[in-house]
Amino acid sequence: MGERKHAVVIGGSMAGLLAARVLSDRYERVTLIDRDTFPAKGEQRRGVPQGVHSHALLYSGRRVLDRFFPGFSQDAFAVGAVPGDVGRDSRWFFEGGNLARCDSGLEGLLISRPMLEGLVRERVLAIRNLSALQDCVVESLETSADKKRVTGVRTPKESIAADLVLDATGRGSHAPAWLESLGYSKAEEERVEVAIGYTTRLFRRCEQDLNGDGAVVTPPTPEGRRGGVMLAQEGLRWTVTLIAYFGNYAPLELDGFIEFARTLPARDIYDVISKAEPIGEAHSARFPASVRRRYEKLENFPDGFCVFGDAICSFNPIYGQGMSAAALQAAALDESFQAGFSARDFFRRASKVVDSPWSIAVGSDLRIPETVGPRSKGVDFINWYMAKLHKAAHRDPVASAAFLKVANLVAPPPSVMHPKIALRVLMGNLRG
Q: Phi/psi of residue 96, each to 5°?
A: 85, 5
Overall CATH class of domain 6-81+113-190+290-362: alpha beta
Secondary structure letter of residue 127 according to DSSP = -
Which one-letter amino acid corresponds to residue 29? Answer: R
Q: How far is CA 63 from the centre of its chain?
A: 14
Asked whether the beta carbons of 353 and 328 are under 8 A apart, the reply is yes
Asked whether the beta carbons of 291 and 354 are under 8 A apart, the reply is no
Pair type for strands 313-314 and 237-245: unpaired
- Domain boundaries along the sequence of the chain: 6-81+113-190+290-362, 192-288
CA atoms within 13 A on the CB side of 70: 0
C-alpha to C-alpha distance for 214 and 32, rounded to whole angstroms = 35
C-alpha to C-alpha distance for 368 and 363, rounded to whole angstroms = 10
Asked whether the beta carbons of 238 and 205 are under 8 A apart, the reply is yes
Helix (H) or strand (E) holding 285: strand 278-294
> How far, in Å, are 165, 177, 333 from residue 173 at the CA level?
13, 9, 19
Asked whether the beta carbons of 240 and 249 are under 8 A apart, the reply is no
Asked whether the beta carbons of 140 and 154 are under 8 A apart, the reply is yes
C-alpha to C-alpha distance for 238 and 229, rounded to whole angstroms = 10
pLDDT at 2: 60
Whats the size of the chain, residue-wise?
Answer: 432
Which one-letter amino acid corresponds to residue 360? Answer: I
Q: Phi/psi of residue 139, each to 5°?
A: -90, -35
**Cα dihedral 252→51→61→217 (10° resolution):** -10
Contacts of 126 (CB under 8 A, 6+ apart): none
C-alpha to C-alpha distance for 237 and 111, rounded to whole angstroms = 10
- List the chain pLDDT tens, one digit each, 432 residues: 568 999 999 999 999 999 999 999 999 999 999 999 999 999 988 878 788 999 989 999 999 999 999 999 999 999 999 999 999 999 999 999 999 999 999 998 999 999 999 999 999 999 999 999 999 999 999 999 999 999 999 999 999 999 999 999 999 999 999 999 999 999 999 999 999 999 999 999 998 999 999 999 999 999 999 999 999 999 999 999 999 999 999 999 999 999 999 999 999 999 999 999 999 999 999 999 999 999 999 999 999 999 999 999 999 999 999 999 999 999 999 999 999 999 999 999 999 999 999 999 999 999 999 999 988 888 999 999 999 999 999 999 999 999 999 999 999 999 999 999 999 999 999 986
The architecture of the domain spanning 192-288 is 2-Layer Sandwich (3.30)
Three-state SS at 106: coil
